[in-house]
Chains A and B, each alone.
Chain A
Amino acid sequence: YALSGLKWHKTDLTWSVHSYPSPSLSPGLPNSLVDNILTHALKAWSDAAPLNFRWLPSDSRVAAAGGDIRVSFTSMFHDDGYPFDGQGGTLAHAFFPGRNDMAGDTHFDDDEIWSYGGSSSTTDLFTVAVHEFGHALGLSHSSSDPSIMRPYYQGPVGDIQNFMLALDDKQAIQQLYGVKDEGPPGGVDPEIPRLPSPPPPRPTQPSDPSFSERCQGGFDAVANIRGEVFFFKGAHFWRTKQDGSLVSLNPAQIKNFWIGLPPGTNKVDAVYERKSDSKIIFFIGSQYWVFKDTVAMAGYPRPLSEWGMRTKSGALVESVDAAFIWAHNGKTYLFSNGEFWRFDESHGSGEVTWLQAPDYPRSNSLWGGVPSHMDDVITWGEGDSYFFKDNHYWVLKRGGLNQDVVTPKSIAVDWLRCPAPPTTPAAPANPRHPKECSCDIKG
């Protein structure tokens, strides 16, 4: 069972009925029968716990001002934040105990066809009333079966004279108000059960494995897609927005965002956004996919061999390390195993295809000052080329191909909001320990 955390701090409760079902919809339920059904619905609870329910005429001043459980049949919007929805759907609701005006109020949808033990096309008032009075006494919905506090209507529970609560419901009401004719309500502790103590505070050091994954670099692929940089690693990716902030510190699952990759995809080799139509190209092993937004287009994957990339020795390329569009000339560049190829996008037959430029492959060493076996490459900022390898990146300015000095920078710090490794101050020479050790972030 589940308790709402609220209960009446008294066991003598009053109840009243402020409106009855419309005779036109529920002709079989005269007001006297409604009162009788509701009386028995309350009795189901008072049979299990030391509760007393006293009926008040609805026109009495006490009922109007401060009765505990006030029943009404209303429809659609009725000023309590829980509008009804016509026949079917929601049937009723009740407010948990408390000191506010609406505590204990129980509303039935007057658009239902209410009955007592009627056919399947009607709704049994007794069954619903027992459930709602459970709420009015402090019980929440239960997923137990059997329990009258299950949220779904499951048909009449049977004869109101002989109805008894299921064990789950009996234990719930007894937890709140005690066992009838036995001891104080709630047993030893008269209050509602306490929640378990919270666990001791955890150290603030990041223990989440996603932290170290994010901050250790070694990305499978990096791509500039629509002005955001995606860092792919394993089955996940992180996403850095144009302003440099991360969409989330936690990684997202590739399979949940990029729809259409094979199940179990746990590594992508390279990704880039096509220039002419902004479609996104994924390379995984010897296949490639074309995505329209986040969904793979029909007909993919296709074999990488369609690109016609052969090594200098004439072998077909089996996988791609990196792919990007060089802002300097708008051409597509694919890298594999220390060599690269250049392509033009062609729109000949309506569909975009790639035409390989002659005189390729060439050696990656032409891109001077950067690693020759990079993880991936993107164009970013003012058309600069960013090369990523392990946890570092190198920037070749504008159309630069061979700069004198390219200083590597930290991917983790500059792109993924990781703390900078502590700088080790120059230690004074220690004659006893001539070789001082220093620890980096991994150490």
Chain B
Amino acid sequence: APTDQYSRAVDWLSRYGYLPPPDPRASKLQTKEGIEKAIRVMQRYGGVHETGVLDSETLKLMSTPRCSLPDIVGSEDMLRRRRRKR
């Protein structure tokens, strides 16, 4: 279903650093604009046509086997890892 596809894509974008990771202490709603921007960055990074929407090419790339490490390592992610390490 499209909603499932959408939430899976948001999860994927968060996991690989394109969206800020969810903060368990606070409810954070991603904006439509933020998700579109994240999809664009992901598309540019992955070398596919930059549309900002979950087209078939993008979904195919998202389901391609890959390394578990994030593509965009932001300060939040680094911090989270340091905290977990401690």
Contact = CB atoms under 8 A, between A and B. Distances in A.
Contact of A152 (B32, B64, B68, B85): B64
Contacts of B16: 151
Interface string B31-51: 111000000000011110000
A89 B70 CA distance: 13
Nearest to A82: B68
A253 B36 CA distance: 13
Interface in A87-130: 88-94, 100, 102, 112, 123, 128
Contacts of A93: 67-69
Nearest to B64: A152
Contact of B67 (A88, A151, A257): A151
Interface residues of B, number: 22
Given A81-B84, A91-B67, A151-B16, A143 B44 contact: yes
A131 interface: yes
Interface in A197-229: none
Contacts of A151: 16, 66-67, 69, 71
A152 B33 contact: no
B68 A84 contact: yes
A409 B34 CA distance: 36
A23 B84 CA distance: 33
B59 interface: no
A145 interface: yes
Among B31, B46, B63, B65, max chain A CB count under 10 A is at B65
A153 B45 contact: no
B67 A253 contact: no
A132 interface: yes
Contact of A253 (B33, B61, B65, B70): B33
Contact of A90 (B47, B65, B71): B65
Given A143-B44, A253-B33, A100 B85 contact: yes
A342 interface: no
B65 A89 contact: yes
Nearest to B71: A141
Interface string B64-86: 11111111010000000100110
Contact of B73 (A82, A100, A102, A140): A140
A91 B65 contact: yes
Contacts of B71: 141, 143, 151
Contacts of B81: 81
Given A141-B69, A141-B71, A256 B64 contact: no
A389 interface: no
A403 interface: no
Contacts of A43: none
Contacts of B66: 89-91, 151-153
B65 A88 contact: yes
A92 B45 contact: no
Contacts of A253: 33
A7 interface: no
27 contacts: A81-B81, A88-B65, A89-B65, A89-B66, A90-B65, A92-B68, A93-B67, A93-B68, A93-B69, A94-B69, A100-B85, A102-B85, A143-B44, A143-B47, A143-B71, A145-B47, A151-B66, A151-B67, A152-B64, A152-B65, A152-B66, A153-B65, A153-B66, A252-B31, A256-B31, A256-B33, A257-B32
Interface of A: 4, 81-82, 84, 88-94, 100, 102, 112, 123, 128, 131-132, 135, 140-141, 143, 145, 151-153, 252-253, 256-257
Given A152-B46, A252-B31, 15 more contacts: A84-B68, A90-B65, A92-B68, A93-B67, A102-B85, A135-B67, A140-B69, A141-B71, A143-B47, A151-B66, A152-B61, A153-B64, A153-B65, A256-B31, A256-B32
